Amino acid sequence: MCRHLAWLGAPRTLSELLLEPAHGLLVQSYAPRRQANGLMNADGWGVGFYPTSGPQPARWRSNRPLWGDASFASVAPTISSTCVLAAVRSATAGMPLEETATAPFHSGQWLMSHNGVVDRAALGPHPDAESMCDSALLAAHLFHVGPERVGDVVVGLGTCDPAARLNVLLTNGRRVLATRWNDTLSILSTDAGVVVASEPYDDDPRWQDVPEHHLVDVTTDAVTITDLET
């Protein structure tokens, strides 16, 4: 399982969100605390963020471990954004090891990351997918049916493929949607903004665990958590 994170709130640097937290994505790339599948996340990493210049996100991805990227470490303190989505990858057996298989995946204003595994046959053909990786096909599928329908899509796939793990993170820069489906998910809500992450990046007591099989919907006004099975 990979580990991922999204931020929506006041401007934060990529360094503050990914590299500086005591148990942030940088540390989770070699020592995650709550990862049930896989020991580390060394098969690539990526970050997407919304620049002040316009609504289209920018991305930086790599098929190498986050801890080895000295160039990113040097620029990360200088890039800030009100909305960021990032992930570190532990590739599922049989999936391609390439930059285009690494989240975040992108379409229009949307970014997407997937923690988990899903049967590619359940997704159907998606010639526009960035990679043949299951997560890239899932992203193409969600971009096709509409990212706002992520809850329905996860319930449908989870019913067809009971072994699937479908923790999905989506954002368009103004809203973050996240599912917990057979992996861990936590949120930290503060006056400055909201973090949604596979696991807490520090020991702040305000972190809350999202219950299994729930959807999190974050806007600048509210955080809503709903049961996907009712």
Tell me which residues in 88-117 interact with ligand GLN (CB under 6 A): 89-92, 95, 101, 114-117
80 versus 198: smaller Cβ distance to ligand GLN: 198
Residue 34 burial by Cβ neighbours in a 10 Å radius (0-12, 13-18, 19+): middle
Indicate the DSSP class of residue 16. Answer: I
| Shortest distance in whole angstroms from residue 106 CB to ligand GLN | 16
Q: Are 173 and 159 in contact (CB under 8 A)?
A: no
Residue 158 burial by Cβ neighbours in a 10 Å radius (0-12, 13-18, 19+): buried
Give yes or no for residue 1 binding ligand GLN (CB under 6 A).
yes
| Shortest distance in whole angstroms from residue 65 CB to ligand GLN | 14
Q: How far is CA 185 from the centre of its chain?
A: 10
Q: Tokens 């200088």 sit at which residue?
A: 78
| Shortest distance in whole angstroms from residue 109 CB to ligand GLN | 23
36 versus 192: smaller Cβ distance to ligand GLN: 36
Size, binding site for ligand GLN by CB under 6 A: 16
Nearest by Cα to 180 from 228, 137, 223, 117 = 228
Q: How far is CA 80 from the centre of its chain?
A: 18
Packing angle between helix 150-160 and helix 134-145, nearest 10 degrees?
A: 130
1 versus 195: smaller Cβ distance to ligand GLN: 1
Sheet arrangement for strand 175-180: 105-107, 110-117, 165-171, 175-180, 214-219, 223-227
The site map against ligand GLN for 194-223 (x = CB under 6 A) is: ------------------------------
Q: How far is CA 73 from the centre of its chain?
A: 20
133 noted as active-site residue: no
Q: How far is CA 167 from CA 20, 24, 54, 81, 130, in A?
A: 24, 18, 28, 24, 19
Please pick, from the candidates 13, 15, 28, 135, the single residue that binds ligand GLN as defined by CB under 6 A: 135
Give yes or no for residue 168 binding ligand GLN (CB under 6 A).
no
| Shortest distance in whole angstroms from residue 208 CB to ligand GLN | 22
Tell me the window of 18-26, 84-92, 186-194, 207-215 that interacts with ligand GLN (CB under 6 A). 84-92
Give yes or no for residue 42 binding ligand GLN (CB under 6 A).
no
Give yes or no for residue 2 binding ligand GLN (CB under 6 A).
yes
| Shortest distance in whole angstroms from residue 52 CB to ligand GLN | 31
Residues near ligand GLN (CB under 6 A): 1-2, 38, 89-92, 95, 101, 114-117, 133-135
Annotated active-site positions, please?
2
